[in-house]
Amino acid sequence: MSRANRLKAIKEIIKNNKISSQEELIDKLKQNGYYVTQATISRDLNYLRLAKIRNYKQKEYYIIESKYSGNTLFNIEKLKSKFKESVISIDRANNIIVIKTYPGEAQGAAAVLDGMNFVEILGSVAGDDTIICIIDNEDNTKKILHLLNNL
């Protein structure tokens, strides 16, 4: 089967499944009649410019054509470190999380938080000492708030 067909199949699989590894993707492709090596998948993922995002449970999975593409994934330790040195308080109102920081620290803390690529966070805005994060729903807001408070 052609590369174009395989790339189309990869896009469809990623769109409809939470695939977190190349091995999972290879297995799904086999189910669809595509037998490929890990090296081929690696090249295909690079060609498609897929990104990995992370949910509040720290589970990563691939996405296609996302606003997150191109961001570097930070690890939770960097987030912990930055929040410990910068954050004064974290609170919520419905699906909005408000993070108060020391003066001049909000943009750096927001950059690390954005770099985590939490799929539940729709976006954030940082001023000098305040970050506002919009979360996709109130249940996820509680979960993200719990995670951030436990840093």
Structure confidence by residue, pLDDT tens digits, 82-118: 899 999 999 999 999 999 999 999 998 998 888 777 8
Domains of the chain from N-terminus onward: 3-48 (1.10.10.10), 76-149 (3.30.1360.40)
With a cut of 80, say whether residue 29 has pLDDT above it.
yes
**Sign of the torsion angle spanned by Cα atoms 48, 72, 151, 91:** negative
Q: Which residues contact 93 (CB under 8 A, 6 or more apart)?
A: none
Structure confidence by residue, pLDDT tens digits, 5-22: 998 899 889 888 989 999
Q: At which residue do the structure tokens 């997150």 appear?
A: 68
pTM above 0.75, yes or no: no
